[in-house]
Amino acid sequence: MRIRILSVALSAAVVVLALPREGAPTTLTATFAPIRMAARPGEVLTTAYQLKIEDGEPPANFKVSVQDWWRSEDGQHSFYAAAGSLSRSCGPWISASPGESTRAGGETLQVRLTIAVPEAVKPGGYWCALTVDEQLDPLATTPAAVGMRFLASVSTGIYVNVNPIERGVDILSVDIVGDNAVMKLSNTGNAPVSVEGRYEFVKPGETRPYATVELPRNVLLTEPIPTGTFAAPLPSPADLPSGTYVVRLLLDIGLDHYIGVQRQIEINRAIRPDPPVK
C-alpha cells in the first residue's frame, strides 16, 4: 500500500507519515507548501525541496520524479500522468537531482530542481508535481506476520507563472445542498488560481450578516477540467436556523478586489430522520 499526500494550495504546515512500526513506512517530516515561481521565456531557475527523515529511522531508499496532476471537478480525487501529458505542464522543463538517494534517520533529503523555461513558451500558468517515493529495499526482510509493507509517498505542487498572467473566475452557481453551501466555479483565465473567501447569510431587509462561513483555500486549474465544485459546511442549526436569507459569496482569487454574487435562498434545517436499520 502507498500513502500519497499532495500539497496543492495549502498554507505551510508539517505532515508526519507514521503507522505502527511493524510494516510501517519511514516517518517523514515535510513542509506542506507548494513551490511557486515566476519566470520569463528562456530563463533557467533553480530551487530546492527538503524532506527530513525522523531520528531513529533505519536507512530508506527514495526515488524522485516529476509528474502531471489534475483534480476531479469535486476536488475529492487527484490524478497523475507522465510529465508533459497536459498542455500547461511545466514537468518537461524540470530536472531533479538526485533522482535516487538513500537517507538514514536524522538526515535530510535535499532535492535540487532546475527549471529551464522554453524560449517559445506562451504566457500563462503552468504546473506539475514533485513526488518523492520510498522504494522497497529488495534485500530487506519482512517481519514475521506482516502481510503488507507500507511505503511513504509525498507529492508537492509546482507552479510556474510566465507573464502576463490573466486571472479570472466565473461563478456558475451558489446553492445550499443538505448542510453544505456549494458553489460551482469556472476558471476563465490562463493560470491556476487559489480560491478562498466566505459566505455571508443576511436576513432580508438587514445589512449585517446573521452568520458567516469561511471558505478554506482551494485551487482551480485551467485544464483538463476548468470547472470546480466546492462545498463548505453550514453552521449548526442553532447558529443558522431555517429561514429565508440573502446568501452572499465573496471570493479572493488574487486580484486587487473581491469577486462575488448573491441570491435569496430558503434554507431548511429540519432534522432528518436516521435511515432505517436493516
pLDDT of amino acid 145: 53
One fold for 2-162 and 169-267: yes
pLDDT of amino acid 188: 98
**Candidates 2.60.40.10, 3.30.70.20, 3.40.50.720, 1.10.10.60; CATH matching 169-267:** 2.60.40.10
pLDDT of amino acid 9: 34
pLDDT of amino acid 142: 56
Cell of 61: 531508499
**Tens-digit pLDDT string for the chain (278 aa):** 333 334 433 222 233 333 333 456 677 776 668 999 999 999 999 999 998 888 888 888 999 999 999 999 998 889 999 999 999 999 999 999 999 999 988 899 999 999 999 999 999 999 999 999 988 766 655 555 555 566 888 899 999 999 999 999 999 999 999 999 999 999 999 999 999 999 999 999 999 999 999 998 999 999 999 999 999 999 999 999 999 999 999 999 999 999 999 999 999 987 655 556 65
Q: Domain boundaries in the chain?
A: 2-162, 169-267
CATH topology for 2-162 is Immunoglobulin-like (2.60.40)
Instruction: Tell me the C-alpha distance between 255 and 105, whole Å.
Output: 44
SS3 113: strand
pLDDT of amino acid 11: 28
Map 214-271 to HEC letters.
EEEEEEECCCCCCEEEEEEECCCCCCCCCEEEEEEEEEECCCCCCEEEEEEEEECCCC
pLDDT of amino acid 271: 60
pLDDT of amino acid 46: 96
Instruction: Tell me the C-alpha distance between 111 and 90, whole Å.
Output: 17
Q: What is the DSSP string of 29-74?
A: EEE---EEEEE-TT-EEEEEEEEEEPTTPPPEEEEEEEEEEEE-TT
